[in-house]
Structure formats: C-alpha cells, structure tokens
Chains A and B, each alone.
Chain A
C-alpha cells in the first residue's frame, strides 16, 4: 500500500469518507452502495431493533436490546447496537444489521480521523451532522428495505451537558431535550420512558428506566429481545458524562434487571394477578 498523497486541488482534508471515495475503497463498493444498483429488495436480512436514550442530571444513558431478527426468525441473541463514537459520544442503531454496523465503523473512524488530521475534535453538533449525512447517503438502500435509523448521544464539553439527537431515514436530524427511541419497539419503549421521566434524574434512576423501557418493549414487540438471565444476556447500556463513554458491566445489569423483574412480579401479586 503506497502513501496516499494528494495535490492541493483534490485533497480530501480531514474527511475520511471523501478519502475512501478518492482511493476507491469506499462504501460505494461495499454493501451500502451495492444496494443502489439492485432494483429489488434483498432477501430477509438480519435487523436490529429497539434502542432508547435518556438524559439525566450529568449526562446521557444509551441502551439497546440484544436481538436481531431476519423475517420471523431470531438470527442473533447477542447482537450489539450501542457503540462508542468517540470519548464523549455514542451511537445506538436500529435497522438492517449489516449496513448499521458498517455505518458505525465509518462514523467512528470519521471522528477519529478528523481529530488526528486537524488536531482538534469536531463539536458535538458537528458530529451529529456528520452522522445525518451518512444516514442520508444510505437512503437508496433504505428504499429497498435496508433502513438505518440511529440515535446519537453525547456529552457536550462546550456547554457541559448531555445532548440527544434523533434521525429519520432521509438523514433529518432532530435534537431531543429529554429522551429518544428508535426501532420497532420504540413506541412501547418511548411510552415507558415518557411516563417515568423526571427532569434531573440520577444516573441510577435513568439506567433503571431504560431497562424497564426495553423490558416492556420486548413484551409487546416480537423483534425486541428481553433480558435473558439463563444465558446471561442483558441489554447493552452505556452512560456518557464528563468522564466519557462507559459501558456498564454485566454484573450491574444483572443486579438491576433482577430487581426490575422482582418489581414487576410484586406488582402483579399485589393486584392478585399471580397464579
């Protein structure tokens, strides 16, 4: 591999996606671009589903369930849909699993590449816009069923607060004040979050709320996976605050999930619903 060098007229600058295009290694030659050339929708491919995000007093919580489905079949029990984007931000993605993970990989690299080339970070708003452009670039594939709809969450070091961004299939970018959800179970998950949300929640309360939201979504939506204590599979939950992106470990998630399930059971017993 020779050193990629450009003249002053075709230099891609800090844009990694443009660099990929110029060197011919871009996603146009991969699954995202290939879809545009095929008029028919692909056969049933794995889809990842529900993700939620909630703002709390000193940051944001981002969570996603672990199920991937292809048609009526569960294709994966442990897929991950929540990823760090860089030190102070993360993405959660619902949609076609292949293009989603590819988009995340490209987004992570785009941010890191910019930071290394320019010596400074992109602003949080700038990162949100970058992701919007990638979602828009996926529109031809989305028209054929390979939809990718992310949530972007981060800690804005300039204004010292957590921020949330939702997207639509066309790359439209909408900042949310308190909470966001995406994917097939998002309607149920978002309702739970909406009812449980309090301004300036603690981190612990916010984590419990997203776990509850995903649990309820899994109860109503067949494409959303619930917690599985038998196989030790819990949602991926990440918190982003001034100290950066941290993924919660399984021990904490197991503890909180067990408490959540106990709470649901007690409620049913209290109503005399247990049999």
Chain B
C-alpha cells in the first residue's frame, strides 16, 4: 500500500483558493448597485446568449462570474430551490437570505470535499417590499462558501480592488438614478484605457415598479441611450 505525500491542510486550502481565484480572475467582472427604483446589475459580457445575470424569483435576481458552466448550474439550482419553496409554502416565503445560505452550503461543501473547487463568485439580490428600499439585500457568495452581506453596492470578479476604487469614486450618493449608476458602473468596469459599448455589456434590473416579476433586462438600445446621455 502506498502512502500519499503529506500536505499540510493550510497548504491544501491555500492551493485550492489560489486555483479558484485564478479561474475567477480570468473572466470579466460585474457590478451591482442600488438605485432609487430597485437594484441594477451591470456585467461586462460579449455574448448575448450566455447570460451572467438572470431571474430567480419574483423579487430575486442572480449574477455569476467565473466559469460559465459552473455558475449556470448554480443558477438553475437556485431557480429550482425558489420554485420548490414557493410551491410548497407560498410565493412570499421565498427569500434571498435562505437561498444565499443554500448556495453557501453547497459551495462550501464542494470547496472542502471535492477535488476541484468551483471557480465562481455569485450574487443573490433581492428588492424589499417597501418603496424606500429598506428591504433591499445583496448577498455576495465566494467560491469557498463565504457569504458577505453588502450594503449598497458590490463588485464581483477579477481586479475587484481597482474596479471598486473607480466605482466608489464615480458613484453618486444614494438615492441615485438608474442612469447615473449605470454610467458609473460602465466607467468602473472599463477603466481608464478602454471604453465599453452597449453590445459588450449585459444589464438587468429588479424594478420595484414592475408587477409580480420585478426582473427585467435592459436592451442594448436602452443601455446605449444611457451611455450617450
């Protein structure tokens, strides 16, 4: 019987974390922020069919960065979790916090027990029932299952420090309009050397003004109009 080489647990965890972070850093980033009518998510995404931002439930949206097939699996699992819960109980019993915890459990389990960690970072956003946005929630979940409850805005993906710095500077104080927020997000994602066109962006909102299903994608034309203004 052969003995495996000994590797200290600290080293194993660090190797896994490095591996996951590298994978995430290879992809494009995204920004989510609160605005006066709800929550907006803006992602850099050249594909118009492989989505990073999607609808989970009436007032809940999902966004992922990193490896597409992995966060898309998580997205579908989230839709299933929410729809099953809504069917078993009622629509108002489906909430982002419980979904974020389920994601954290699943990601944490994969990180510690499986050979390869998931190379993803995900966001679960929910708009509250009050018009003043008090119930809005942004949960940022990392590859190892760490959950961070963000207050006003969040950046996911690689180069988050640079993007966060630029975004914080450009973002007007709350309450801000959707257009102001989107312009700040696009400028932060692009950085000083690039400009991003509407075609290379994916944007969606959870709009308090919508009916039951608050999620809505912004079309390229809408984004272009905001950027030109």
Contact = CB atoms under 8 A, between A and B. Distances in A.
Interface of A: 1-5, 16, 19-20, 23, 25, 105-106, 109, 112-113, 116-117, 119
B105 A4 contact: no
Contact of A23 (B51, B73, B84, B105): B84
Interface of A is mostly: helix
Nearest to A112: B83
Given A1-B84, A105-B87, A119 B54 contact: yes
A140 B212 CA distance: 35
Interface residues of B, number: 23
Contacts of A16: 83, 87
B146 interface: no
- Which secondary structure characterizes the binding site on chain B? helix
Contacts of A106: 87
Nearest to A16: B83
Contacts of B51: 119
A25 B80 contact: no
21 contacts: A1-B81, A1-B85, A2-B106, A3-B78, A3-B81, A3-B102, A3-B106, A4-B81, A5-B77, A16-B87, A20-B87, A25-B84, A25-B87, A25-B88, A105-B87, A106-B87, A109-B83, A113-B80, A116-B54, A119-B51, A119-B54
B76 interface: yes
B84 to A, nearest CB: 6
Q: Give 8 nearest A-B pairs by CB, closest first.
A: A3-B102, A3-B106, A4-B80, A3-B77, A116-B79, A5-B77, A113-B83, A3-B81
Contacts of A20: 84, 87
A25 B86 CA distance: 12
A105 B86 CA distance: 11
B32 to A, nearest CB: 19
Interface of B: 51, 54-56, 73-74, 76-81, 83-88, 98, 102-103, 105-106
Nearest to B99: A3
A109 B87 contact: yes
Given A3-B102, A4-B84, A16-B87, 15 more contacts: A1-B81, A2-B105, A3-B77, A4-B77, A4-B80, A16-B83, A19-B84, A20-B84, A20-B87, A105-B87, A109-B83, A112-B83, A116-B56, A116-B79, A117-B76
